[in-house]
Structure 1
Amino acid sequence: MLNIENLTKIFGANTAVDNVSIKVDKPMMIGVIGASGAGKSTMLRMLNRLEDASSGRILFDGQDVTSLQGADKRRWQADCAMIFQQFNLVPRMDVVSNVLHGTLNKRSTTATLFNLYPTSDIHRALDILERLGIAGHAAKRAEALSGGQQQRVAIARAVMQDPKIVLADEPIASLDPMNAQIVMDDLRRLHDEDGRLVIANLHTLDTARRYCDRVIGMRHGRVVFDGTPDQLTTGAARDIYGADASFSEAATSTSIEALNTPRPAAVPA
C-alpha cells in the first residue's frame, strides 16, 4: 500500500530525515513519536508533497509519489489529506465553508473564485459535521469555536477530500486533555469506520499506545523503533528520546487521570 524507501531530506548542513524506510501493507492507524526536531513533521510534509525529498522514494499502490508534478501532484494532495496542529482554517469564514475547502483541488478556478459549491457538496459537508458532532456550529465563524472544535472542523475538511491517507501533524498538541481525547477518537474512527490509513505525529506515549496499531519512533531523523504499542516499553521510549533513567512518562501524559493525580511531595534534602 505505502512504501517509503530510503527517504532523506537535507536542509543546508542539517539532515532532517535520514534514510527512512517504512512499509505499510494495509490501512491502519500509525503513531509517529520522537523529540522535537526528530524529523516527524518533515516526513509527513514529504508524504503530502509539501516538501520535496532530497533523495529516496515514496510509493503508494505502486505509484511514485515523489515524481509527481502539476495536476498529478495536486490530485495526490487531495488523496493524502493533511491536518495541522494550528488547524489552518479561515478564521472569519463560516464552518461549513471551511469544510467545503476540502474540495478545492477538484473544482474549477471560476467556481473557487466565486465560492460556488454544488448542493450535493454542501449536504455532504453538513453530514460530515453531523458525524463529528459539530453540525450545530455550521453557520458560525471558525474563529468563534474552541480549539477542540476548530480541530474537528479541520478533520471534517480532510474527510471532505475523501482521501486515501490522512496525515495529522501534532493534532492535539495545543488542546486540553478532554478535547485531545475527542479529537483522537475522531481520528481513530477514520480508520475503523472508513478504512483509511491514518498517520499521526504524536508527542505523548499514552496517546500512541491507546489509539495506534503501530508506533514508529524517530530520533535525529532516523527510525529507531517500529513496533506495536505493547512493545513501546519505558526502556524503548528512553532510547527514542535519548533520555536517561530519570525519564518519566507521566511528564508527557495527556490523560485526564494522570493530570489530576497529585505530584508526590518532594523529599527533604
Structure 2
Amino acid sequence: MLLSVENVTKVFGANRAVDRVSFGVERPAFIGIIGRSGAGKSTFLRMINRLTDATDGAIHFRGRNVLGLKGAEKRSWQSDCAMIFQQFNLVPRMDVVSNVLHGTLNRRSAFATFFNLYPTADIHRAIDILDRLGIAEQAPKRAEALSGGQQQRVAIARALMQDPQIILADEPIASLDPMNAQVVMDALRRIHEEDGRMVIANLHTLDTARRYCDRVIGMREGRIVFDGTPDQLTTGVARDIYGADETFSETATSTAIHHLDSPAEKSRAGVKVH
C-alpha cells in the first residue's frame, strides 16, 4: 500500500473536526476530496502534511507512519509532501523565481537562506518549472504583479521545486475565475500524469471533481460518507455529502468551466496530450 490512512481523528475541544477517517491508496492517483465548509477537509490535509497534529490514528506512506516523525525526519516528510494553498502563500514583494526557489528551503542551510543564496542549477531548474507551467516570462516580476491564476501556478512551481512524492492542494481554485481555474487544474492533472505524482486536492465543485479526479472522497461532519469513482458521484450522492434536500442544485457548486478540450479531458478520453 502506497498510502494508508487509519482511523485518523482530530479533536478541537468538544468538536471532532476529523472523525476516524480511513482509506488506502495503492498507486499514485489524483484524488479529490469534496464536502461543505467545515467538513474537515482542510484539517485532514494539514494532518497529512504535519502542519496540524492528529489526536489519534496513523498515516503510513510506503510503510512509514508520518504522524510519528519529529525534527529532521518531519521536515524531510514536509519536503516529500508539498502543500498548495487557496491563498497562494507567496511573498508578494519578492520576484517570482525567488518565490519558487523557496521550495528548496527545507534542504538549505540557515546561512544560505538568510543571504538568499541559491545554486545556479536551482535557479535554472526553477525557470524550467515556470516554463513548464507557461509563466517563465513572469520570473523577474514581483509576485504581487501577477493575476490570481498566475500566482497559483507560481505556488505549484514552488511545490514542484521540492520534488515531492505527494502534492496536497487545499481548495486551489476557490478564489479563481473559471478560466484560471481550468488552467490550474489542467496543470495539476498534467503533473500527476507526466510525473507519476500523487495529488490529493480539496475541491468545492462537483464538475471539477468529476473532470479531473480518478477517485472522489466525500466528507461530511468529519467522516467519509462517499469513496468512489467520478461516475459514481451522482446528484443523489452529492446531496448526501452536502447534507442537502431535493432542492440541491449542482449549479451552486459549478465552476462553469465548459471547455471539454483540456489536456485532462483528452487524456481521460485516451487522446495523447503533447
TM-score band by shorter chain is over 0.9
How many angstroms does 1:47 deviate by? 0.2
C-alpha distance after superposition, 1:57-78 (max 9, x if no partner): 0000000100000000000000
8 Å CA contact retained: 2:34, 2:202: yes
Distance 1:251 1:182 in 2: 21
Partner of 1:137: 138
Distance 1:22 1:197 in 2: 15
The yes-or-no answer on 1:10 pairing with 2:11 is yes
How many angstroms does 1:257 deviate by? 4.0
C-alpha distance after superposition, 1:179-230 (max 9, x if no partner): 0000000010111000000000000000000000000000000000000000
Aligned residue for 2:100, secondary structure, equals: helix
Aligned residue for 1:239, secondary structure, equals: helix
Greater radius of gyration (CA): 1
Partner of 2:176: 175
Describe how 1:14-29 pairs up with structure 2 within 5 A: 14-29=15-30
Flag structure 2 segments of 5+ consecutive residues without an equivalent.
260-274
Distance 2:199 2:88 in 1: 17
The yes-or-no answer on 1:222 pairing with 2:215 is no
Partner of 1:52: 53
Distance 1:216 1:22 in 2: 9
The yes-or-no answer on 1:151 pairing with 2:152 is yes
Distance 1:98 1:118 in 2: 15
Partner of 1:188: 189
Describe how 1:38-77 pairs up with structure 2 within 5 A: 38-77=39-78
Give the TM-score of the pair, scaled to structure 2: 0.93
Distance 2:236 2:50 in 1: 34
Distance 1:190 1:131 in 2: 10
Distance 2:32 2:118 in 1: 35
Partner of 2:119: 118
Compute the RMSD of aligned alpha carbons.
Answer: 0.8
8 Å CA contact retained: 2:182, 2:257: no
How many angstroms does 1:255 deviate by? 2.2
Distance 1:158 1:78 in 2: 9
The yes-or-no answer on 1:31 pairing with 2:35 is no
Letter in 2 for 1:244: D
C-alpha distance after superposition, 1:66-100 (max 9, x if no partner): 00000000000000000000000000000000000
Distance 1:199 1:48 in 2: 11
Distance 1:84 1:141 in 2: 19
Partner of 1:84: 85
How many angstroms does 1:105 deviate by? 0.3
Letter in 1 for 2:222: G
Flag structure 1 segments of 5+ consecutive residues without an equivalent.
259-269
Moved over 3 A (4+): none
Give the TM-score of the pair, scaled to structure 1: 0.95
Distance 1:17 1:232 in 2: 22
Distance 2:211 2:258 in 1: 14
Count of aligned pairs between the two proteins: 258
Letter in 2 for 1:219: R
Distance 1:64 1:204 in 2: 31
Distance 2:4 2:68 in 1: 14
Distance 1:257 1:155 in 2: 23
C-alpha distance after superposition, 1:16-39 (max 9, x if no partner): 000000100000100000000000
Letter in 1 for 2:127: L
Distance 1:12 1:243 in 2: 27
Distance 2:214 2:54 in 1: 27
Partner of 1:208: 209
Distance 2:238 2:257 in 1: 21
How many angstroms does 1:256 deviate by? 3.6
The yes-or-no answer on 1:238 pairing with 2:239 is yes
